[in-house]
A and B are shown apart, each in its own frame.
Chain A
Amino acid sequence: MEIPVLNCSFEEVQNIWQDSYANAYKTKNLNLQKYQQYAEQIAAFGRGADPVLSFISEIPQIVRIIGENISDLVFNLILFLQKSPNSKSIALFLQHLPAISRCLESPLLLKNYLKILRILSDKTSVSVHGIHSTHPSVALPVFIENSAKLLKIVNVDGLKKWAEYGILYFKDNPEHQTDFFSLKTSDSKSMLQRQRAGTLLINIENSLQKYAKSLWDIKLNFRPQPVTLTKANPAGCFLDDGTLFMPDSYDTKNNISGKNRYFAQICHISSHIKWTKQVVGDNLSPMQRFFIELFEDSRVEYLAMQKYPGLRYLWQKLHPVPIDNDCDDKNISCVRHRMAQLSYKILNSDYKCSNQIINEYVDKFLKMMQTGEHSTAKCLKIGLDFTIKAQLKSDSYSQVYFKNTLIDYRDDNRTMWLFHEENDEPEDMMERKTTDEDKKTYGIPYLYDEWDYIAKIFKPDWVTLYESKYAEANSDKINNILLKHKKTTNKLKKLLDSLKPQNHKRLRYQEDGTELDTDIAIGSYIDYKSGIEIDNRINANTTPYERDIALSLLLDLSASGNNKINKKSSQTILNLLQEAIVILSWAIEQLQDNFAIAGFNSNGRHFVGYYHIKGYSEKFDDSVKKRLSAMRAGLSTRMGAAMRHSGNILQNQKNDKKIVLILTDGEPADIDVKDQNLLIEDAKQARIELQQKNIFTYCINLDKKSDQYVKRIFLKNYAIIDDILTLPEKLAQIFLKLTK
């Protein structure tokens, strides 16, 4: 091998050139001529020695990993970066490329990955005065550094979608870019989670809930374990405060589908909930607890399989099969191997195990189960015995045998133990726990997606909505309203009366009725003349339609409610709103429709307030009046989230017809949104979602200039009240007409 002279003035480069070339020489599929040529070109970039150093040392390795000559591809990207403001990232890119290539292993995938880098470099470089890109991208280096870890979580396509999402929403905000691309924000995490391959927990949550309820009569909540860069694939699951944390996605394993793996997990946890009684774990070593947990796991599974024998098949399939005699107990710690053998032998009696102590304890365990005298406390005893009996000197060695010992459908048994001394708090997996204090101040948080009309996608978990009960104030004010509006109520009364008997359903085939059904009567007469037995149900009757309506009245409580209704008056829009609601509520009570009242406002996407004023099951009584009286206006109007939430509550009502009636005095707007179309389109999307749930939406708007956007959101289903003083009367009238 003759090493050619490299035309490059950097001494550091010349120092390693010989070794690097020798390395490259041994690499199959590497075009050596181009290798040298590219290196010389990079050296001439004027970016110092770093890029060329990285290039000559990393390229052979990358070619070996990918198995094809990709130096053209890589060089083209380097050239692209060189011409962009991001040339500083070249060295970084080359340093990380081997690790990234290891996750991709195919030239096509690598090509796709490099495409993402191009897009990212293009879109996130900041252009000043819109002339050309001058400031380097903040996102690009972060993205390159994390790529290998990200690719362990999602595939290239998923990574692309996730990156595009980040570009779309944070392209003008470098600070957020860093947070997003280093997976620090919750929307970044949930967006990434949605790109995962396999069966996603979020897609089958409903089914899983039904499994737990039907088979075990247990109500479980599920949460995916958050994806983090340090823990790409959290295995197993754990129960915390009634919520089951599970991996966010499962692939098929040993022919068991992802969904069935979740099912196996739920059945295991449910068995614990049914049969495990807490025991004190203070004075036990981790190893003792480890084996006690194993016996307890086996015990509850034994009981579960007695009830549902089909589970044995599932669990056996998912249980690792430890290789007998495979662990060298002289030199490495065989604790996990012993545990797996014991556990598998209990689950599958056909399994051959040559460890006699294990066999002895499997028999003991099975005998205990057969006699029916078993409990968590008994498992504690048998587990302790076994730990001592089977103990080996090597157990404490640092090298541990891991092969085929991870039982990932079982939980970590943290709920089984009772600790009097609470020094070992289990690791907090939740990103941010809602404390009781939080709940008091803000209410219960709910996350909602928001529609982006430009990208035509839902931004996942974008909006946080807090649901709370409204404070209470003196109800006298409300009681006086009805007196004040006596005239209006009298007028409405006529309308109310007219509502009841109108609209009739015609009942045919009646023996007695108010009118003759001529068709049938003639038919019967013909039968009579022909001497056949006739049907004398020849009359028709009418009966009124029954009203079966649930109404959710949704009030916009944004700051504009504090505006005076006109220059002369001291009354605010909010005062008038209160009057209107009182009259409407009075009318609805007369008709006995099922209805709820709630208000909403917002302060950016992280706070949408949703305030209960009256619930469906509540009467329009004093406590409702007190809340109504306490109504205050403030902040902005993020309508979509409030509509979705109101729809979700309304959906659980059993009534035939469901209506969300929105009362607002302005268009959807919020402090963190510049493009007002965004929230208008989101509200429109929310209206469509409600429609799909068979919920009718109607908007009453006090903003005279609202024609354009109201029409966009609600199509024909809106009314604009020009003379605001007529609101109390009009509101009730509109509702009554709607439900006529």
Chain B
Amino acid sequence: MNITDCKIKDKPFYYNQNNESSLYEAAYGKKMPMMLKGPTGCGKSRFVEHMAYSLNKPLITVACNEDMTASDLIGRFLLDKDGTRWVDGPLTNAVRYGAICYLDEIVEARADTTVIIHPLTDYRRMLPLDKKGELIEAHKDFQLVISYNPGYQSLMKDLKQSTKQRFVCLDFDYPKSAIEAKIIIKETGISQDIADKLVQIAAASRNLKGHGLDEGISTRLLVYCATLLKQNINPKDAIKMSLISPITDDKDIKDAIEKAAFATGLIDS
């Protein structure tokens, strides 16, 4: 495979909340495995893209799910009409050719999947391919990044300490209001006024976390909403479609977010 295909072509927009970029660079310098913690839609994936771009390294992203097995990461023998052939998985590719491998929502993957990354994330930096009988030493540019949302998963799904303690960690949260508004404006070209109001609605929803809401409105949803508004969709519909319905079915919570939208002046009562 041509690993340079995996480089990010266009500069992704990312707004530094703190000094996370320089911290990441320092960790990357020593190829330390990195864990990104934070609520859904707060910009973790965007941050990795941003870093891959600014470091000029290829990025391989794998979205983890509960049906994912170790083979989906490291590769497998496939049968074809001529017999069998080995196909590298995304992780193997990253290890072999020196990319940043980003395992998004690692907790969703089954426990046996997380174990295979252990030899890669300590001093050994090795990936054993048991089935193929190969032991790959990681490329000097290879780095493993995982993302992890401590909020909504059940206790049963938490990462094991033995896994957690192999990573350095950056904590993410929703950006501060002013920055979040800037992000929305940059992404969608919406006016400052509307962006501010959207951020306020999000803040109101985040107050309800733990009061019947698992997670407040994410920056990503705000961007969706602004995109809809930009297309002259009626604000009431846009808010319902992008901010309320995706996050809750609870009548009272829907009502409260709608009231927040009304209070900001974005919609009529």
Contact string against B for A residues 244-272, beta-carbon threshold 8 Å, 1 for contact and 0 otherwise? 00000000000011001001000100000
Asked if B69 contacts A511 (CB within 8 A), the reply is yes
A533 to B207, CA, bound (A): 50
Which chain A residues lie closer than 8 Å to B263 at the CB level?
215, 267, 308, 310-311
Give residues 62-81 of B contacting A (CB, 8 Å). Answer: 67, 69, 71, 76-81
Contact A531 B81 (CB under 8 A): yes
| A-B contact number at CB 8 A | 84
Chain A nearest CB, measured from B212 CB (Å): 7
Establish whether residues A211 and B256, one from each chain, have CB atoms under 8 Å apart when the complex forms: yes
- Which of B81, B212, B259, B265 is A211 in contact with, Cβ under 8 Å? B259
Q: Which of A214, A307, A511, A534 has the most CB of B within 10 A?
A: A214
For the complex, count residues of B whose C-beta is within 8 A of A. 33
Contacting residues, chain B, for A263 (C-beta < 8 A): 259
Q: Report Cα–Cα, A199/B77, bound state, in Å.
A: 67
- Residues in B with CB closer than 8 Å to A206 are 252
Set B69, B79, B256: member contacting A214, Cβ < 8 A: B256
A510→B264 CA distance, assembly (Å): 51
Residue-wise, chain A 453-488 has the 8 Å CB interface mask toward B (1 for contact) of: 000000000000000000000000000000000000
Nearest-neighbour CB distance to chain A for B240, whole angstroms, equals 16
Closest to B81 in A: A531
Given contacts A207-B256, A213-B256, A511-B76, whether A260 and B265 have CB atoms under 8 Å apart is no
Docked pose: A621 CA to B77 CA in angstroms: 54
Q: Which chain A residues (196-252) contact chain B, with CB distance < 8 Å?
A: 206-207, 210-211, 213-217
| Residue B257 interfacial (CB < 8 Å) | yes
Q: B260 is contacted by which of A207, A215, A534 (Cβ under 8 Å)?
A: A215
Inside 8 A of A310's CB, which chain B residues have their CB? 262-267, 269
CA distance A312 to B69 in the complex (A): 56
Look across to chain A and name the residue whose beta carbon is closest to the beta carbon of B70: A511
Q: Is B21 an interface residue (CB 8 A)?
A: no
Q: How far is the CA of A528 from the CA of B82 in the complex (A)?
A: 10
CB-CB nearest in chain B for A534: B79
Q: Could you tell me if A213 and B211 are in contact, using CB atoms closer than 8 angstroms? A: yes
A434 in the interface (beta carbon within 8 A):
no
Q: Which residues of B contact A534 (CB under 8 A)?
A: 78-80
A260 touches B269 (CB 8 A): yes
Chain A contact-residue range equals 35 or more
Interface hub of A215, A257, A314, A654 (most chain B Cβ within 10 A): A215
Q: How far is the CB of B181 from chain A (nearest CB, A)?
A: 14
Given contacts A213-B208, A214-B257, A217-B207, contact A511 B262 (CB under 8 A): no
The reply to whether A308 and B79 form a contact with Cβ atoms under 8 Å apart is no
A214 with B78: in contact, given A310-B263, A511-B69 (CB under 8 Å)?
no
Q: Check A536 against B78 for contact (C-beta < 8 Å).
A: yes
**A residues within 8 A CB of B205?**
214
Interface residues of A in 498-536 (CB under 8 A from B): 509-512, 528, 531, 533-534, 536
In the bound assembly, the distance between CA atoms of A536 and B212 in angstroms comes to 43
Contact residues in A for B265 (Cβ distance below 8 Å): 308-310, 312-313
Judge if A672 is at the interface, Cβ distance under 8 Å: no
For A263, give the chain B residue with the smallest CB separation: B259
Can you list 26 pairs linking A and B with CB atoms under 8 Å apart?
A210-B212, A213-B207, A213-B208, A213-B256, A214-B204, A214-B207, A214-B253, A214-B256, A215-B207, A217-B207, A267-B263, A308-B200, A308-B264, A309-B264, A310-B264, A310-B265, A313-B269, A314-B269, A510-B69, A512-B69, A528-B79, A528-B81, A531-B81, A533-B78, A548-B154, A548-B156
List chain B positions with a Cβ less than 8 A from chain A: 67, 69, 71, 76-81, 154, 156, 200, 204-205, 207-208, 211-212, 251-253, 255-257, 259-260, 262-267, 269
List 15 other contacts, CB 8 Å, given A210-B252, A214-B204, A216-B207: A207-B252, A207-B255, A210-B253, A214-B208, A307-B200, A308-B263, A309-B264, A511-B69, A511-B76, A531-B81, A534-B78, A536-B79, A537-B69, A546-B156, A654-B154
